[in-house]
Amino acid sequence: GSTPFYAGLWVGGKVAPNKLYDSWSGHQPIYGALSILKGQHGEGEPAQVLECPVCKTILAIPERGLEPKDYTLYLVVRVNGSLPSDFQKIVNDRLSDNEFKINLTRILPMKTPGYLTLELKISSDRVLKPSDIDNCWNKIRHDFPQLVLVPARPSRPGYFFRYYIDSRGNRREYDFDIYCPNPECKLCYPWIGGAPSGLVHGRRPGINRKVRFRDGNRPIEIQEPFRIQQDVEYISDRIPIPALVVDEQIYHRIPCLLISTVDKFARPPFEPRAAAIFGNVEYHHCIFGYYRRGKGLHYSNQDNNGHPSPTGKGNNRYYVTVEPFDPPDLILQDELHLIEGPLGSLVGIYETAVDFLCSESNGYKPKYIASTATIRRAEEQVQSLFVRKLKVFPPPGLTIDDRFFVRDFEIHPLEDSLPGRLYLGICAPGRGPHTPIVRIWARLLQTAWNYRNHPDIDFYWTLTGYFNAIRELAGAKALYRQDIPQRINEIAGGNRRRIADERTQELSSRISSTDLPAILDSLNKRYPEAQDALFTTSMFGTGVDIPRIGLMVVHGQPKTTSAYIQSTGRVGRSKGALVVVFFRATRPRDLNHYEFFCGYHRQLHRYVEPPTVYPFAPNVAEMALGPVLVFILRNMRNVTVRWCDENSAREMPRYRLIANEINLISSYLSQRIAHQPPARQALLGMIQHRLNSLLDRWCSVARRYSNLVYYENVVSGIPRYSVVLGDPIHQHAKLNSQLEVVYENTPQSLREVEETIAFEA
């Protein structure tokens, strides 16, 4: 078919913005993705794709900047008029006064007349910030006002706004596409795509009635500079990069592949547009994409009888009716061992809604494939989370060390030609916490310097420090700046290693997601350009693969054996590695691990802790059963009431006993509980009683408060509505006004498993 493939990034932690448009809280603007791309400061960064996946051309410069080296930057511009014959010379003279070297090397015409690609060669011996590129463009623009930049801004050269012309002739930006601006990229291949009503660009809204593909789709109109011909608006001269990073893009353009984190499970109760992820859509608009009819179920700022405005008139509507499509049928769960404890229990109860919505339309449940390197009693965990039977790959073989696909064999501890790790434990009774750290780090760093001419020195040049807390990491970085260099000077004997702060990296929760690609690239550089040190926390144990790192210091025994295996397993992936574990003698747990160091490491996987997941424990049900009920009701297909509508919350008393979907949810919960492992089953009557109690409370509040809505977003100011899904602001207002909350302190992220407690003076 003509429907394009898209990959979506649906993650929490304010990595990317939730909205495309700006919104307001009181008198304060909350900037959306479109404004952030232009340079406004907001929560999240929509420019998550920093370089072309094919040719590595720069698509966006992260806020931390680019490492000092040579770069090639491509800027797409429109020329209103003509340029002088010595344009290139004038630009290079104008840019010669920068702190870094930048030259306009080529001016490449595009297939659409009036558009050019400017190739800039940049050489810098310092970090290159986004503002540096923006300022360079401002100089060019000052001398040549006939040049108009096409991408969002100079430091976002791969991000291009989609827009339409409104009834007053104004340009209205509504979304953005990602293109590689390099005209020599292998993505420069003719491309065409379709959607049920197409997607408008650069003109007044309206469905293209002239062109229709065999699958019934209308063409997606291409941005002007990338059209293969000026008058053919739906054939592109290159393939767009199919990434959706803003929540509203995911809900309305709908990716084929969705990359997500489990904490996003908390959003669908608040966001009925998430039903699109499960295939529950009704219409497609030539501007706003897929949606269900209803106020708040699309991202247009204006609503016209449940449809996004502009809607068109008569037979010239800007939307078409579409059939719902199949929900996800394959779910991949990486790092299964992390889904345990309080987080795992919440994930388990929210999985009830995910499983229900994935199987509602056709009765076929999705297949789960989970991966982990450290787990015990996996059958119980899988059954608790997903209510599935477990099959392990590779399966057990005839002997414990041979599974056909995987063979284990023991080698000499000092053999370092093969991947693996040699563990060394150090404990220093009678010393403080800092002196041993300074001496361990100084000796390892200086020894690597002494052997800098060895052919294998690259594996041991970058020293990785693993810490159990940010506070400990910050303390070690302070030692690294002063005490460790002093100690190196004492032991070096005139041949000291000089370590600099700019040759260190940090991987922790303090680092922005857009900085990660640059950090990982710098860590993959080989000696002599390699980094001196890496400071990291538990983040290092998930998804980091840097084969060249072979030297690590672990500061204190991690809380779990699973975390210990995962973090230390990131070194020694291509060659033998040394892992030094520093135990503090004042910590009983550290001392115990030091005393049994050899026995513990000989049977490391034996000590992996079994996961604890109780999705229907009383406290979990008290916190999350109500939100899960709302999750299902607002996103399911076959309903008596359109629970997705914001005003439908007040309809619960009328339909509590006659709506078939409520009985269906109750029955589904009963089945889910019955299939839990015997030791983790909740009392069926208790959960049913809890569900009935939650529904009764909803009915009671709806009868007393006619202004009941599901959720009211209040950042500052005074709440005006009673809500089903409560938050601390409404909970506090409940004590001082005529408002009510049905489900108090509803989780908005599974990262926040503790409810907020307010103290009053």
Residue 573 lies in a domain: yes
Q: Which two tokens stand for residue 4?
A: 């394009």
- In single-letter form, the type of residue at position 156 comes to R
For 274-292, write each residue's pLDDT tens digit: 999 999 999 999 999 999 9
Separation CA 463–CA 444 (nearest Å): 8
DSSP 355: H
Report percent pLDDT > 70 for the chain: 98
Report pLDDT for 756: 53
pLDDT top residue among 363 and 324: 324
Residue 534 lies in a domain: yes
Residue 272 lies in a domain: no
**Last residue in a domain, options 210, 240, 270:** 240
Residue 735 lies in a domain: no
Least confident of 192-201, 356-365, 578-587: 356-365
**Last residue in a domain, options 240, 260, 284:** 240
Report pLDDT for 412: 85
Task: Provide mean pLDDT across the span 100-125.
Answer: 93
pLDDT exceeds 90 at position 393 = no
Report pLDDT for 738: 76
Report pLDDT for 33: 94
For 223-273, write each residue's pLDDT tens digit: 999 999 888 899 999 999 999 999 999 999 999 999 999 989 999 999 999
Q: Give 67's contacts (C-beta < 8 A, 6+ positions apart).
A: 127, 518, 521, 522
Residue 442 lies in a domain: yes
CATH number for the domain spanning 443: value is: 3.40.50.300
pLDDT exceeds 80 at position 414 = yes
Q: How many domains does the chain divide into?
A: 2
Tell me which residue range forms the domain holding 209. Answer: 50-240
Q: Which residue has the tokens 């269906």?
A: 664
pLDDT top residue among 549 and 402: 549
- Average of per-residue pLDDT values in the chain: 90
Q: Is the dihedral of CA 258, 293, 212, 248 positive or negative?
A: negative
Separation CA 375–CA 359 (nearest Å): 28
pLDDT exceeds 70 at position 759 = no
Which of the four pLDDT bands, split at 50, 70 and 90, describes residue 584?
very high
Residue 603 lies in a domain: yes
**Last residue in a domain, options 194, 210, 240:** 240
**What predicted TM-score, i.e. pTM, was given to this entire model?**
0.90
Separation CA 78–CA 224 (nearest Å): 10
CB 473 within 8 A of CB 537: yes
The number of angstroms, rounded, from the C-alpha of 625 to the middle of its chain's C-alpha atoms is 26
Residue 479 lies in a domain: yes
CB 308 within 8 A of CB 248: no
Which of the four pLDDT bands, split at 50, 70 and 90, describes residue 326?
very high
Residue 598 lies in a domain: yes
Alpha helices in 569-617 (DSSP H): 588-595, 597-602
Query: Residue 414 CB: number of other CB atoms within 10 A?
Result: 7
DSSP 485: H
3-state SS, residue 626: helix
Q: 46: cis peptide before it, omega within 30°?
A: no
CB 572 within 8 A of CB 545: no
- In single-letter form, the type of residue at position 532 comes to D
For 734-756, write each residue's pLDDT tens digit: 776 778 999 988 988 887 545 55
For 595-625, write each residue's pLDDT tens digit: 999 999 998 888 998 888 999 998 899 999 9
Query: Residue 380 CB: number of other CB atoms within 10 A?
Result: 19
